[in-house]
Amino acid sequence: MDKSIADDRFILARKTEALHVRARLIQSIRRYFINKKFLEVETPLCIPAPAPEEHIEALRCGDWFLQTSPEICMKRLLAAGYPQIFQICKCFRAGERGRLHLSEFTMLEWYVAGFDYRLLMKQCEEMIIAAARDLGLADRITYQAREINLACPWEAIPVEEAFKKYSPVTMTEALNRDNFDEILVEYIEPNLGINRPAFLHDYPAKMASLARLKEGNNSVAERFELYIGGVELANGFSELTDAPEQRRRFMEAQKMRAQKNYAAYPLPEKFLSALDNLPASAGIALGIDRLAMIFTNAAGIDDVVAFPPEIL
């Protein structure tokens, strides 16, 4: 037998089960949305203008860029009159590689007209429970030696409260000291979704560039992140539908990016025009690889993909 085939077989042998679970998970997710009368869409991976975000770097693709998420095109569809859409696609983010990160990864993204972030959290919960049952998993799953109960009501904790509960400093202090991310990663994330899945929600306004601000409290945005077993799985929010405000936020992000010498992207003008027609809606992006990790009790993202980049 050829040595490189032998090596592939050796490396893949221990992933066989995970690859099967991953495939069935994707099939189950499709079924869920098709049953709910969602339209499955495919938008281009290669785009001229990604949404400028301060901490997300797009890979170049000729004169254009590989998408960092399908958000821009999917919201144009939403604005054009497709009220329930979902997509499972590849996304690319430069320089992201770690236990939970692949530069090329698989994203599930869906949008619902008429929803806000609360309703979307509920739907996300329902979809994941349905997927777990489809996979033949019990309501109590084991992830990294901890039992997680998927069936009891999921936790929803505001970011400010999570800081009070788990961190030595308050959210405001962390923001003022410019170490919000460090505190989040070190003190808060490891405690989220431990016994049951948890939604961390109501992020500081400036950390949600495409989300609507909360009614009655302009200091936070209607944005949430889902955590299971300390792993961040999904990011969702009530969509901002105010075009001038979105343009202002994009220009702010462009300014921050320029200060750090990050690549300048052209503004996604057609997306900004479309925002005028965007219905009140909510959207969410969920990492398929990471959900496959949770359902296969895998410690790292490499365990649920056939070929991490290092062995290509």
Partner 1 sequence: MYTASELKKGLRIKIDNDPYVLTEFNFVKPGKGQALYRCKLKNMLNGNQFERTFRSVDVFEPADLHEKKMQYLYKEEGKYCFMDNETYEQIYLTEDQMDDAKNFLIDNIEAEILLFEDRPIGISLPNFVDLVVTEAEPWAKGDTVSGATKPVKLQTGYTILVPTFINEGEKIRVDTRTGEYLTRVKG
The angle, 0 to 180 degrees and rounded to 10, between the axes of the packed helices 16-35 and 288-296 is 120
User: Of 78, 73, 88, 79, which Cα lies nearest the Cα of 43?
Assistant: 73
Rule CB under 8 A: is residue 235 a binding residue for partner 1? yes
Rule CB under 8 A: is residue 55 a binding residue for partner 1? yes
Rule CB under 8 A: is residue 299 a binding residue for partner 1? no
Instruction: Using the rule CB under 8 A, give the single segment among 70-78, 92-100, 239-247, 301-309 that binds partner 1.
Output: 92-100
Rule CB under 8 A: is residue 177 a binding residue for partner 1? no
Q: Residues 243, 272: contact at Cβ < 8 Å?
A: yes
Beta carbon of residue 196, minimum distance to partner 1 (angstroms, whole number): 20
CA 107 to CA 76: how far, in whole Å?
Answer: 18
Rule CB under 8 A: is residue 260 a binding residue for partner 1? yes
Q: Which of 62, 98, 136, 153 binds partner 1 (CB under 8 A)?
A: 98
Rule CB under 8 A: is residue 71 a binding residue for partner 1? no
Pairing between β-strand 64-66 and β-strand 84-92 as defined by DSSP bridges? unpaired
Rule CB under 8 A: is residue 216 a binding residue for partner 1? no
Give the torsion sign (CA, 84, 88, 94, 96): positive
For the sheet with 46-47, list strands across it: 46-47, 64-66, 60-61
Instruction: Using the rule CB under 8 A, give the single segment among 27-35, 47-55, 80-88, 104-112 that binds partner 1.
Output: 47-55
CA 289 to CA 187: how far, in whole Å?
Answer: 24
CA 144 to CA 67: how far, in whole Å?
Answer: 32
Q: Which of 66, 74, 91, 100 binds partner 1 (CB under 8 A)?
A: 100
CA 296 to CA 15: how far, in whole Å?
Answer: 10
Rule CB under 8 A: is residue 101 a binding residue for partner 1? yes
Q: Which of 109, 189, 239, 289 binds partner 1 (CB under 8 A)?
A: 189
Rule CB under 8 A: is residue 168 a binding residue for partner 1? no
Rule CB under 8 A: is residue 256 a binding residue for partner 1? no
Q: Which residues bind partner 1 (CB under 8 A)?
A: 53-56, 95-101, 180-182, 184-186, 189, 203, 207-209, 225, 232, 235, 260
